[in-house]
Each structure stands twice: as structure tokens, then as C-alpha cells.
Amino acid sequence: MTKQQVLGVTGLCTVLLPFLGIPNTWKLNIVIIIGLILLALYWKMRRESQAISVKIQKQEGPAFVENVLVEEKKSTDI
């Protein structure tokens, strides 16, 4: 499952949980498990975004290069 699918399923479970008619002790355990899943997903996404930002910062070369108009050389071959 992708991260987006996991996030959607946990959100759906959180919304439907009060209406399922299960005992309160089970609800508490399910909410704790959903919370742990969300924390793990947050941690994983944060690590990935930090890795991407580090990768971007390590790119070689200047961040800004100005375009310079280069005149075309005309060949006089006849």
C-alpha cells in the first residue's frame, strides 16, 4: 500500500469507529494502533522529505545561471 492509501484507510477507520458498536476497550486499543500507524507514517514521510532536501542542496553548480545571447557564427563556404 502507498502512504496515501494507508493515510486514507486510517482516516476512514477513525471516522467509522464510533458507529461500529464495538466495546470501548476494543475502541481504545484500535485508536492507539491507528495513532501509532499515523506516527510511523509521519516519521517516514519526514525522513523522505529531509533526504530530498539534502540531495537538492548537494547538487553541484550554481543555483542561478544567467542566459547569455551567443551570436551564431556565419560560415562563408561557397
10-34 pLDDT per residue, tens = 889 889 988 888 899 999 999 999 9
| Pair 49, 66: CB distance under 8 Å | no
C-alpha cell at 71: 551570436
- Given a cut of 70, whether residue 8 has pLDDT beyond it is yes
Q: What span, in angstroms and rounded, lies between the C-alpha atoms of 24 and 34?
A: 15
Question: What is the distance between the alpha carbons of residues 64 and 61, in angstroms, rounded to a whole number?
Answer: 9
Cell readout for 46 is 519526514
Helix 24-57 / helix 3-16 crossing angle, nearest 10 deg = 150
User: Percent of the chain, pLDDT > 70?
Assistant: 74
